[in-house]
C-alpha cells in the first residue's frame, strides 16, 4: 500500500464531519451513540470499514489511521457512501485508547497490522502485551477482538500474547477462508489472497 504524501490530505480530512484528529477527540462525540461500537485500528484505505458500515447500519464504526494521506483515500470512499454510522480519526491508536470508556466496545479489529518483525521494534506491534491488556479492558463482556494477518510469525507472536490475556475463548485459524459472520475483506487481504498466501485469523472473546 504505497500512498504518496498528499499535501491536501489534512485539509480535506479536517473538513469532513465524520473525521477528527485523535488529539481533538473527546468522548462526548460518542455520547448519543447507542449502537454497538466497533473500533478498527489501522484502517488503511478503508475497504473493511466501508463494507462493514454498509452491511451493519445498526453498528457504529470508528477507525483510526496514523497516516493522513492513506486515511484521505479511505475518507473519499466513505464520503461517497454517505454513511451516518462512522467516525474516522487521524493519529496513533495509543493516544485514543486511554480516551475511551472501559467496557464500551463490542469489537476491536486489527486487520493486517504492520508486523514489525525486528525484535527491537516489538513495542510497535499492535498486539504487544501492553496493548492487549488495554483492548481487553475496553471490550464489553462478550465483546470480541478480531485479528487477521498474512504474516505467519506475527500470527504466532500475537496468539502467544493473546493467550496471556484472560479471554474466555480464543480461536486461531491458520487458513481463514473469509467465512466469519462479522467480517469483510481488506485491501491487504485481497492482495495476499491473490498471491495464495494463507490468511491467519485469531479471535478472542471477553
Ligand atoms: C499494513 S497496513 C493494513 C491496512 C488495512 N488494515 C488493510 O488490511 O488493508 C497497516 C496500517 O496500519 C496503520 N497503523 C500502524 N500503526 C498504527 C497505530 N498505532 N495507530 C493507527 N494506525 C496505525 C498504518 O499506517 C497502515 O496504514
Is residue 72 assigned to a domain? Answer: yes
Is residue 151 assigned to a domain? Answer: yes
Distance 15 CA to ligand 1 centre (A): 22
What is the pLDDT, as a whole number, of residue 1? 56
- The whole domain housing 131 covers 30-205
Cβ 186 vs Cβ 48: under 8 Å: yes
pLDDT band at 2 (very low <50, low <70, confident <90, very high): low
Distance 176 CA to ligand 1 centre (A): 20
Specify the DSSP element, H or E, that contains 77.
helix 68-80
User: 63 CB less than 6 Å from ligand 1?
Assistant: no
User: 72 CB less than 6 Å from ligand 1?
Assistant: no
CATH code, domain with 187: 3.40.50.150
Is residue 2 assigned to a domain? Answer: no
Residue range 28-48, pLDDT digits in tens = 999 999 899 999 999 999 999
Which candidate, 97, 96, 98, 99, places its Cα nearest to that of 28?
A: 99
Rounded to the nearest 10 degrees, the angle between the axes of helix 47-55 and helix 68-80 is 30
Which of 3, 21, 41, 44 maximizes ligand 1 atoms within 8 Å of its Cβ, making it the mutation to test the pocket? 44
Distance 41 CA to ligand 1 centre (A): 7
Is residue 10 assigned to a domain? Answer: no
Is residue 25 assigned to a domain? Answer: no
Residue range 67-97, pLDDT digits in tens = 999 999 999 999 999 999 999 999 999 999 9
Mean pLDDT of 137-158: 98
Query: Is residue 189 pLDDT above 80, yes or no?
Result: yes
Q: How many other C-beta atoms are found inside a 10 Å radius of the C-beta of residue 82?
A: 6
Q: How many domains does the chain contain in total?
A: 1
Cβ 40 vs Cβ 63: under 8 Å: yes
User: 66 CB less than 6 Å from ligand 1?
Assistant: yes
Residue 9 neighbours by CB under 8 Å, 6+ apart: 68, 69, 71, 72
Is residue 187 assigned to a domain? Answer: yes
Residue range 94-120, pLDDT digits in tens = 999 999 999 999 999 999 999 999 999
Is residue 22 assigned to a domain? Answer: no
User: Phi and psi for 2 in degrees, rounded to 5?
Assistant: -90, 115
Strand partners, 37: 60
Is residue 11 assigned to a domain? Answer: no
User: 112 CB less than 6 Å from ligand 1?
Assistant: yes
Distance CA 178, CA 180 (A): 6
Amino acid at each position: 500500500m504505497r500512498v504518496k504524501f498528499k499535501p491536501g490530505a489534512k485539509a480535506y480530512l479536517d473538513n469532513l464531519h465524520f473525521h477528527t484528529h485523535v488529539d481533538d477527540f473527546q468522548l462526548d462525540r460518542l455520547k448519543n451513540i447507542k449502537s454497538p461500537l466497533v473500533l478498527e485500528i489501522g484502517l488503511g484505505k478503508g475497504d473493511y470499514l466501508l463494507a462493514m458500515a454498509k452491511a451493519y447500519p445498526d453498528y457504529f464504526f470508528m477507525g483510526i489511521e496514523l497516516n493522513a494521506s492513506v486515511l484521505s483515500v479511505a475518507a473519499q470512499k466513505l464520503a461517497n457512501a454517505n454513511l451516518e454510522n462512522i467516525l474516522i480519526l487521524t493519529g496513533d491508536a495509543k493516544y485514543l485508547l486511554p480516551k475511551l470508556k472501559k467496557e464500551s466496545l463490542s469489537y476491536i479489529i486489527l486487520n493486517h497490522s504492520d508486523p514489525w518483525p525486528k525484535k527491537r521494534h516489538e513495542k510497535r506491534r499492535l498486539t504487544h502485551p501492553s496493548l492487549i491488556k488495554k483492548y481487553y479492558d475496553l471490550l464489553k463482556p462478550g465483546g470480541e477482538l478480531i485479528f487477521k494477518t498474512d504474516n505467519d510469525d506475527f500470527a504466532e507472536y500475537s496468539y502467544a500474547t493473546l493467550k496471556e490475556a484472560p479471554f474466555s475463548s480464543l480461536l486461531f485459524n491458520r487458513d481463514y477462508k473469509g467465512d466469519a459472520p462479522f467480517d469483510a475483506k481488506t485491501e491487504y487481504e485481497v492482495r495476499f489472497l491473490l498471491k495464495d498466501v494463507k490468511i491467519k485469523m485469531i479471535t478472542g472473546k471477553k
